[in-house]
Amino acid sequence: MEEYAREPCPWRIVDDCGGAFTMGAIGGGVFQAVKGFRNAPAGVGHRLRGSANAVRVRAPQIGGSFAVWGGLFSTIDCGLVRLRRKEDPWNSITSGALTGAILAARSGPLAMMGSAMMGGILLALIEGFGILLTRYTAQQFQNPVPFADDPSQLPPKDGGQQQQGAKGQFQ
């Protein structure tokens, strides 16, 4: 029940920032390790050293830019939740587009537009993946015979059968 008691929003920014940094550092580290290995001069020692050097130099940078993206995204998302007082997929998509636009602000309005489109589409894809995932997991736990009773909290109206146990069967 602890999850329900806590408001996720302001803390989620820190959470997302750190998660994005970790993701960028690890993924960028793997990528840069391969790249440094290929770009180094011949010889196993040189290649390993070049690989390690590339990881050392580039991986924190990539992690940092990921962290900036994640933190800004989450900040805008929380701001939208606060403003709209509603949580739905629109928040993510809008904040993805806004994040892209803000981070490209130094390259001019056209680049901002393109970046915003990219961010929005990316976040829409992620949202779609999330929706599909919930649907899939929902189908796994679905009862073979769906309940047909009305919940017991409602007053009986048409003299129908009112039974307990209708609650709690949501997925």
Site string for other proteins, 43-62 (x = CB under 8 A): --------------------
Q: Which residues contact 33 (CB under 8 A, 6 or more apart)?
A: 51, 52, 54, 55
Using rule CB under 8 A, residue 18 touches other proteins: no
Among 30, 57, 87, 165, binds other proteins (CB under 8 A): 87
| DSSP one-letter string for 2-46 | HHHHS--HHHHHHHHHHHHHHHHHHHHHHHHHHHHHHHSPSSHHH
Which positions from 118 through 137 interact with other proteins, judged by CB under 8 A?
121, 124-125, 127-132, 134
Q: Which is nearer to other proteins, 140 or 153 (CB)?
A: 153
Q: Tokens at residue 32, please?
A: 């840069």
Contact flag: residue 8 with other proteins (CB under 8 A): yes
- Which one of residues 34, 57, 105, 138 is an interface residue with other proteins (CB under 8 A)? 138
Least distance from C-beta 135 to other proteins, angstroms? 8
Question: How much is the CA Rg of the chain, to the nearest whole Å?
Answer: 24
Task: Locate 121 and state its tokens.
Answer: 């589409």
Q: Is 106 in the site for other proteins (CB under 8 A)?
A: no
Residue with tokens 């550092």: 25
φ, ψ for residue 114, nearest 5 deg: -60, -45
Q: Does 88 bind other proteins (CB under 8 A)?
A: yes
Instruction: Write the binding mask 65 to 84 for other proteins: x where contact by CB under 8 A, - elsewhere.
Output: ----------------x---
**By the 8 A CB rule, do 78 and 8 touch?**
no
Residue in 51, 75, 92, 115 binding other proteins, rule: CB under 8 A: 92
In the complex with other proteins, the residue whose CB is nearer, 44 or 154, is 154
